[in-house]
Amino acid sequence: MRNIQCADITKTVKEMCIEASHFLTEDVAYALHKSVETEKSPLGKQVLCQLEENLQIAGDDMIPICQDTGMAVIFAEIGQDIHIEGGLLEDAINQGVREGYTEGFLRKSVVKCPIDRVNTKDNTPAVIHYDIVAGDKLKLTLAPKGFGSENMSRVFMLKPADGVEGIKDAIVTAVKDAGPNACPPMVVGVGIGGTFEKCAILAKKALTRDLGKRSDIPYIKDMEEEVLERINKLGIGPGGLGGSTTAFAVNINTYPTHIAGMPVAVNICCHVNRHSVREL
Ligand code: SF4
């Protein structure tokens, strides 16, 4: 049994909030950089260059990449051989978010109740997904989620008879309907299978996968590549101003499901596909 202190978790989450708001991971920054070369529309190219310049300024001057610094989503993979000391894990994570958003001067975008809309003023609570895994480590993945793109995400409760073509059409439909509202170029996270809520979590987690890494399952890999090609032929383009770069990647995760169903969730992220990963 390994002990991990709540204070260390809080400090780590705080640092991750600040890091993710100012720096994109290498794979996302590379996808943006590469798209400048491949984009066919001159206006689209210009938008991509501005996004690259914005990213550079964010890192150099420590100004958030986007004014919407998102709602903090955290995937916590908890090794079953660890013991958390000094309080509750959830409180430690939320304290890290509170300190990160306050000390990092990041926009506080969370309201306490979706009906009365009163801001919590410290961007808490985070949305936390817990997984118990083997080992004696605590792996935290923070993915602050902007809501321009979150609002354009969808769940489709397809029938098995809709088949693979039905799944592909659903993903393309979600992206087409999102259009410029999701601040393209987008990253498209897809969850197929499970239940209503499980497919949405699969889709959210898919957004944290390295953009250069395709699914290990050959027919899912093919689907990711085919759907990305279809999406990039929609012509939405960077900033929604037209072009051949509507999405950087389609990342699909799957899970077993019921014989009578085929849930498909499409979680769309903008080009500011932020995440930070740390292991304690
Ligand atoms: S969707 Fe992304 S780029 Fe658009 S405002 Fe939100 S965080 Fe910023």
Q: Domain-by-domain residue ranges, the chain? A: 2-20+65-145, 148-273
Is residue 262 within 8 Å of 275, Cβ to Cβ?
no
Ligand 1, atom nearest to 145 Cα: 7
Question: CB within 6 Å of ligand 1 — which residues?
Answer: 66, 68, 70, 146, 148-149, 183, 270, 272
What are the φ and ψ backbone dihedral angles of 216, each rounded to 5 degrees? -75, -15
Residue 189 neighbours by CB under 8 Å, 6+ apart: 203, 204, 205, 206, 207, 251, 253, 266, 267, 268, 269
What separation in Å is there between the alpha carbon of 39 and the centre of ligand 1? 21
Closest residue by Cα to residue 270 from 207, 184, 190: 184
Separation CA 252–CA 264 (nearest Å)? 10
* Ligand 1 atom 1, closest CA: 148
* Ligand 1 atom 7, closest CA: 146
The residue whose CB lies within 8 Å of the most ligand 1 atoms, and thus the one to mutate among 107, 270, 271, is 270
pLDDT of residue 258: 98
pLDDT of residue 161: 98
The residue whose CB lies within 8 Å of the most ligand 1 atoms, and thus the one to mutate among 28, 50, 149, 269, is 149
pLDDT of residue 149: 97
Residue 36 neighbours by CB under 8 Å, 6+ apart: 45, 48, 49, 52
Closest residue by Cα to residue 89 from 21, 198, 18, 12: 12
One-letter amino acid at 78 equals I
pLDDT of residue 29: 97
What separation in Å is there between the alpha carbon of 147 and the centre of ligand 1? 7
Cβ count within 10 A of residue 114: 6
The residue whose CB lies within 8 Å of the most ligand 1 atoms, and thus the one to mutate among 55, 147, 271, 272, is 272
pLDDT of residue 17: 98
Mean pLDDT (10-residue bins), the chain, 280 residues: 97 98 97 97 98 98 97 98 98 98 98 98 98 98 97 98 98 98 98 98 98 98 98 98 98 98 98 97
